[in-house]
């Protein structure tokens, strides 16, 4: 009788465990169904052609953030007295080459000034577009941006004076704002020519003028969401 009783108790225990397991599985399925299919993105990597929403922080040659969608990065830069632009998340197609020379990003200056359209060159956009391949939702990555062309520009003292900029007021390391065109060969009165903001850094200074480095060597990217092609 003792053996039979032990077998019955063992059977009851196994049954209870199975019931609890089924209940937990049911609850889990209910939670997942309430989340829709978005949770699947956590296990899906970005592939060529996918449409991806990203948060980003773009850095200048000295590693200072130029523009960011991340509030913590923005607040930290402002607290340190560094000029920074805030921006909105952008949507990008993975591994798609941009045909236009400039990708425009809305930028909101921390001093509350007028909204600007910040210029991201096509080579920089393409580096981001290809760099996000293989990333997952909520994953963050630093993408290194290289260029085959020089990203410096010489401003003579005469030209600075023509633009009402005093050379003596400029210090190496200062931010320097430049306008870049999506059609530099276009006529000045051509309405189809658009001008965008490019924030550079004063890399060198002499009595003859300054050298501005307007390269953006790195960008931090975080995947917010993705839509499969």
Decide which of 194 and 38 is more confident. Answer: 194
Residues 6+ apart with CB under 8 A from 174: 201, 202
State yes or no: pLDDT of 13 exceeds 80. no
State yes or no: pLDDT of 219 exceeds 50. yes
- Cβ atoms within 10 Å, residue 174: 14
Per-residue model confidence (pLDDT) at position 83: 85
State yes or no: pLDDT of 72 exceeds 90. yes
The 8-class DSSP code of residue 36 comes to T
Pairing verdict, β 209-213 and 152-156: antiparallel
Per-residue model confidence (pLDDT) at position 181: 87
d(CA 204, CA 173): 8
State yes or no: pLDDT of 134 exceeds 90. yes
User: Model confidence at 34, in pLDDT bands (50, 70, 90)?
Assistant: low
Question: For the residues 98-125, what does the mean pLDDT come to?
Answer: 91
Per-residue model confidence (pLDDT) at position 17: 54
User: Model confidence at 32, in pLDDT bands (50, 70, 90)?
Assistant: very low
Domain boundary assignment for the chain: 42-147+215-227, 152-213
Please identify, in words, the CATH class of the domain defined by 42-147+215-227: alpha beta
State yes or no: pLDDT of 99 exceeds 70. yes
State yes or no: pLDDT of 41 exceeds 80. no
State yes or no: pLDDT of 36 exceeds 60. no
Residue 201: closest CA among 178, 173, 179 = 173
Per-residue model confidence (pLDDT) at position 15: 54
């Amino acid at each position: 009788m003792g053996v039979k009783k032990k077998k019955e108790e063992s059977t009851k225990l196994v049954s209870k465990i199975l019931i609890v397991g089924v209940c937990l599985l049911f609850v889990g399925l209910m939670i997942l169904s309430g989340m829709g299919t978005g949770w699947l993105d956590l296990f899906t990597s970005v592939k060529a052609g996918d449409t991806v929403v990203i948060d980003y922080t773009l850095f200048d040659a000295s590693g200072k953030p130029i523009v960011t969608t991340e509030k913590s990065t923005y607040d930290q830069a402002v607290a340190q007295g560094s000029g920074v632009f805030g921006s909105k998340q952008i949507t990008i197609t993975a591994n798609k080459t941009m045909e236009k020379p400039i990708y425009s990003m809305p930028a909101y200056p921390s001093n509350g000034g007028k909204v600007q359209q910040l210029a991201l060159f096509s080579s920089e956009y393409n580096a981001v577009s290809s760099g996000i391949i293989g990333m997952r939702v909520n994953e963050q990555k630093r993408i290194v941006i290289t260029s085959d062309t020089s990203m410096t520009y010489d401003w003579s003292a005469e030209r600075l004076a023509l633009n009402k900029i005093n050379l003596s007021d400029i210090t190496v390391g200062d931010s320097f704002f430049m306008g870049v065109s999506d059609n530099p060969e276009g006529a000045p009165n051509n309405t189809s020519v658009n001008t965008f903001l490019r924030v550079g850094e004063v890399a060198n200074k002499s009595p003859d003028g300054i050298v501005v480095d307007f390269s953006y060597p790195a960008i931090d990217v975080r995947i917010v969401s993705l839509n499969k092609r």
